Amino acid sequence: MLSQDFFNDEFLEQRVDTFYGYGNYQGSYWFIGMEEGGGEDFQDINNRINIWSNRGNHEIEDIAEYHESIGYGASFKPGAKLDVPVWRTLIRIILSAKGNDNIDLEDIRKYQIEKLGRKDKETCLLELFPLPSPSRKYWIYNEFSQLPFLSTRQTYEDYCVETRINHIRQRIQEHKPKAVVFYGRVFKYFWRKITENITNIEFTKPSESSKEDFFISRNNQTLFVMAKFPRALPNEYFHNIGRAILNRNTFHRFNNF
């Protein structure tokens, strides 16, 4: 019988090898970040890992169903708080990419409750790394696991990063989403590794005169965006990303009609 002071390493290893995020691979709008927040202590991580395993070790989960299971279902109920900044900003991008203007908090709340990261809707939220952590400097997995590759964050990243880059690239090539937004430009090396065998077009600003601090590339099926991490940035930054997705995809459809 496992001690309550240790993770089930079988479940933990399955999570590292299998879990990629939330939503629907058939969705038009994909967002790829470094890793999921949370996981501040053993109890929280253990709960997340065990429930994920009990739900069937899915590669991608329905975000509302999973969060309901781990005790955070209020984020997807009427009157939900908009207290996850990353979700708010991703929703602003989606709504702008769909041609919406004057987006308010009720628009965002409605989308979060009904559509964000749902298994049968239009978004896919993926993570480069599979284990939750509040920051890249925070690492407690070695204290509660005997898996050698979890001895440090560096050994963990080295263990899984190439496999996950290849898998995410394969899923993009297979499903051909309308747009893929990578957020966190400090990780641009990883984002470029994902796209290097999908498109040969380099990431550039939306136009030569553009002052927008994000970069785009595309192939015949997908527009790729490399954006800053959504922290302490004006709403207009995310609206402009959405507008770039809308405008570039409209232009591409028109010129390939």
Alpha-carbon span 13 to 110, nearest angstrom? 36
Q: What is the pLDDT of residue 206?
A: 83
Cα radius of gyration (the chain): 18
Average pLDDT rounded to a whole number, residues 75-98? 96
Q: How far is CA 239 from CA 95, 129, 153, 242, in A?
A: 8, 27, 34, 5
Average pLDDT rounded to a whole number, residues 77-86? 95
Question: Above 50 in pLDDT, residue 158?
Answer: yes
Question: Per-residue pLDDT tens for 16-44?
Answer: 999 999 999 999 999 999 999 988 899 99
The token pair at 221 is: 């099926």
Question: Per-residue pLDDT tens for 224-234?
Answer: 999 999 888 99
Alpha-carbon span 223 to 216, nearest angstrom? 7
pTM of the predicted protein model: 0.93
Q: What is the pLDDT of residue 131?
A: 97
H-state helical runs in 119-183: 141-144, 153-175
Distance of CA 115 to the CA centre of its chain: 15
38 or 181, which is more confident: 181
For residue 45, what pLDDT band results from cuts at 50, 70 and 90? very high
Q: What is the pLDDT of residue 252?
A: 45
Alpha-carbon span 129 to 161, nearest angstrom? 7
Q: What is the pLDDT of residue 130?
A: 97
Average pLDDT taken over every residue of the chain: 92
Angle in degrees, CA 234, 237, 238, rounded to 5: 105
Alpha-carbon span 96 to 62, nearest angstrom? 23
Q: What is the pLDDT of residue 251?
A: 42
Q: How far is CA 223 from CA 9, 25, 128, 192, in A?
A: 38, 16, 19, 13
For residue 255, what pLDDT band results from cuts at 50, 70 and 90? very low
Question: Above 50 in pLDDT, residue 248?
Answer: yes
Alpha-carbon span 243 to 98, nearest angstrom? 8
The token pair at 127 is: 């993570």
- Which of 124, 115, 170 has the alpha carbon at shortest distance from 22? 124
Q: Is 61 left (phi over 0), alpha (psi -120 to 50) or beta?
A: beta
One-letter amino acid for residue 214 of the chain: F
Domains of the chain: residue spans and CATH: 21-255 (3.40.470)
One-letter amino acid for residue 147 of the chain: L
Those residues whose C-beta lies under 8 Å from the C-beta of residue 20, and which sit 6 or more positions away, are 59, 60, 126, 127, 130, 164, 167, 168, 171
Question: Above 90 in pLDDT, residue 256?
Answer: no
Q: What is the pLDDT of residue 4?
A: 62
